[in-house]
Structure 1
Amino acid sequence: MANQSRLSVYLVALGAFALGMASYVTAGLIPLIEGAFSVSAATAAQLVTAFTLAYGLGSPVVVALLPGTYQRLGLLLALAVFIVANIASALATSFISLALWRAVAGVGAGVYLAMGIAASAAITAEAHRGKAIAIIMGGMASGTVLGVPISLLLAERLGWESAMWLISALGLIAYAGLQVKLPALPSAPTLSLVRKLAILRSPYAMAILAVSLLAAIASLGMYTFIAPFMAAADSGTVRSITGYLWVWGIGGVLGSFLVGPLVDKFIGPVITLAIMLLLSIALISLPFAASIHPLLTLLPIALWGAVGWALQVPQNNELVRTRQAHGDGNLAVALNESALYLGSAIGAASGGIVLALHLPASTLAVGAGAIAAIGAATQFIIMVRTR
């Protein structure tokens, strides 16, 4: 990558770091927000719902409506909206206004990530696009794994608002850098909304999104229930899962960064197939490792985190590669992010049914592994039919 392009990609990744913090920090702030606004924990938790729903459902709509001739302006505007929404969240005087601003932040975050990935792909040589996307996804993973604990420590000392101020400050740094360093982006073809929505009739694009959906149901769905799984008698009755979550997160950061060069050297769909197979193996092996000793689960958990986060690099790269010429590459990436959030919700609901039926905790991991295996089979069918 040329120096200016490389710097722009890293600045986009810094914004993604702030985005990763904003996506997951609210869950940790619930006790503080609960006290600050005199609401119940269940009510405070709806802030997470507001952000994720707006991110997953609102951002594709906004991306679809944005004109292709203003790619650079759209990226900067989305980041500005994200920054303003987080500042407004820190200044919110009522819970309702806070919830509304978290929803606005969710839309800005989703649009920014989709356009940031597409912009980085546009200014990077095709031989290095996988690495560029990996840097951005690694930035988001790092924001989740490293940024969230730092912001929570800050919030415990200075109040929950300080976490929002930190996110806003990082976003401002990224915005200032991109305003100066981001080069002009090539204009996408001017398409009507109907033409853009033609992507929904593309069997190949829909198949890619289906694999992302299945991966999210398996990986993010199981992540929701890692605590009850490890607390089960068959898993060693682990009381504290903090260390296990750190291992999962660190694996995710490493996987996000390391997969980039592989995507640039090998065929993306092959990488996706390998990732889905490894994800299935990691999840299915969790109960067997736990039955021997809880610490042995650290190995499949690390692998699970690594491949779960790494998957979106080849997926987004393939979507950009195949849809950019049609003028809907940004929308394709936004839809892929929506598939992740929808898959997470489906996985959480499915796991809740498993617990409600009082099935063994191992059912959670084995079921998630089976869904990942279905995703691998789907990916194999895609490759065969495409070939």
Structure 2
Amino acid sequence: MNPQLDADLDRQQGSRSATAAVYLIATGAFALGMASYVTAGLIPMIQQAFDVQVAVAAQLVTAFTLAYGIGSPVFVAMLPAQRQRFGLLVALALFVIANVASALVDDFVSLMIWRAIAGVGAGVYLATGIAASAAVSAPELRGKAIALIMGGMASGTVLGVPVSLLLAERFGWQMALWLVAFLGFISWVGLVVKLPAIPAGPAIPFSRKLALLGDHKVLTILMVSLLAAVASLGMYTFMVPLMAAAEYGGVTNITPYLWVWGLGGVAGSFLVGPLVDRIKGPMLTFLILVTLSVSLFALPAAAAITPWLAKVPIAVWGAVGWALQVPQNNELIAARGHKGDGNLAVALNESALYLGSALGAAAGGFILLLQMPGWVLAVSAGAVSVIAALLQISRLIHGNVPVDPIVSREKNCA
């Protein structure tokens, strides 16, 4: 036998297993994207099924997002470094079970509890899934792996949600959750077979993991994500009242514009992957933030000319808004992965996105309450994005760039 040939075959087999695992994690992320946004579309059906008010039914979304944003970092922090694979599989199994239970319950309180449990499972799964994909991929392919997962989640939101809502309208609201559970189960079975062992980082106690919050690099990245979410996701909440205003065409059917935004997000999530591996993360994030600002500033001007022209900045806004989290998560893993809490950093980043979305929605609602012109919404969102870009400049100027020790060692050896 040729030892070199055996070693090459082992590497090829390991590479194929890692690639398959990343695609399976992305499949689970697709189910996550559906679960995160489909509940809002199911509210009228759930309201009727359980005979509750709309405001009460809407709290299902709150239960999921709060559990996702607040609960998942706590559980990720409690996960031992040597049990990352186990934690990912348990989180996905919990997510699947919670969606099955949500489809089977016959009282509203139980449904609320299971949606919260699904939120925890989703948050832990995405954080550990991103970290796992980075760990099993070659350093030069890590950006593409993360982009594939974020693209899967974006696709679940843009493509999966409409399909699941169509099924719900025909077969009942439970069918949407059955579809989510089925896709999650397919991903889980595949990962049980294909997910290789995940290299364990250093074992550190829970108390020391809190030191993550004292890392200036991490805090800067999280603050940029928070501000970007305020601008992008917050403005998404108010696309309907903006485009419905008479001065912007009085659009009555907002669906095509939501599709343009979502398809732009899918494209941006996938296309940013190769750029992550070519452009330094902080610079790529800065360029994305600048593009986001320009697209938001241009939105009311384009809509004032003709609503159809508004689709251009909307598509760009969706693309860069979703793409941003690929370099952000990559930077967090580079900064903290070797310290054993990269998955916790990613979980905190997801929490920052949900908190930013909530803050953006609240700020936009206040602007509408003051009866300000519609353009103030887009310009205010663009201004927040500018602030995020300025914060990112401080990282570039002061060289506040995390160094990936794996990449560094390879460069030194070369």
TM-score by length of 1: 0.99
Deviation at 1:199, TM superposition (A): 0.7
Q: After TM superposition, list the pairs within 5 Å mapping 1:96-175 onto structure 2.
A: 96-175=109-188
Q: How far apart in 2 are the matches of 1:34 and 1:188?
A: 46
* Structure 1 counterpart of 2:257, one-letter code: Y
Q: After TM superposition, list the pairs within 5 Å mapping 1:177-188 onto structure 2.
A: 177-188=190-201
Contact 2:200 2:340 in 1 (8 A): no
Q: How far apart in 1 are the matches of 2:50 and 2:394?
A: 51
Partner of 2:398, secondary structure, is: helix
Q: Structure 1 stretch 192-201 or stretch 109-118: which is displaced more?
A: 192-201
Contact 2:67 2:116 in 1 (8 A): yes
Residue ranges of structure 2 left out of the alignment (5+ in a row): 1-13, 401-414
**1:200 aligned onto 2:213:** yes
Deviation at 1:72, TM superposition (A): 0.4
Contact 2:63 2:115 in 1 (8 A): yes
**In structure 1, what is the equivalent of residue 341 of structure 2?**
328
Q: How far apart in 2 are the matches of 1:143 and 1:150?
A: 10
Question: Which aligned runs of 4 or more in structure 1 are off by greater than 3 angstroms?
Answer: none
**In structure 2, what is the equivalent of residue 243 of structure 1?**
256
**1:254 aligned onto 2:270:** no
Partner of 2:240, secondary structure, is: helix
Q: How far apart in 2 are the matches of 1:181 and 1:325?
A: 24
Q: How far apart in 2 are the matches of 1:364 and 1:254?
A: 25
Choose from 221, 224, 237 the match for 1:211.
Answer: 224
* Structure 2 counterpart of 1:181, one-letter code: K
Q: After TM superposition, list the pairs within 5 Å mapping 1:1-387 onto structure 2.
A: 2-386=15-399
Q: Cα deviations across residues 245-280 of structure 1 (Å, max 9, x unaligned)?
A: 000000000000000000011111111000000000
Partner of 1:386, secondary structure, is: coil
Deviation at 1:193, TM superposition (A): 1.1
Deviation at 1:54, TM superposition (A): 0.3
Q: How far apart in 1 are the matches of 2:20 and 2:101?
A: 29
Q: How far apart in 1 are the matches of 2:121 and 2:98?
A: 8
Q: How far apart in 1 are the matches of 2:332 and 2:21?
A: 21
Partner of 2:198, secondary structure, is: coil
TM-score by length of 2: 0.93
Q: How far apart in 2 are the matches of 1:43 and 1:311?
A: 33
Q: How far apart in 2 are the matches of 1:145 and 1:194?
A: 39
* Structure 1 counterpart of 2:67, one-letter code: A
What is the aligned-residue RMSD (CA, Å)? 0.8
Greater radius of gyration (CA): 2
* Structure 2 counterpart of 1:168, one-letter code: A
Deviation at 1:188, TM superposition (A): 2.0
Q: How far apart in 2 are the matches of 1:80 and 1:69?
A: 19
Q: How far apart in 2 are the matches of 1:358 and 1:95?
A: 36
Q: How far apart in 2 are the matches of 1:354 and 1:232?
A: 15
* Structure 2 counterpart of 1:4, one-letter code: S
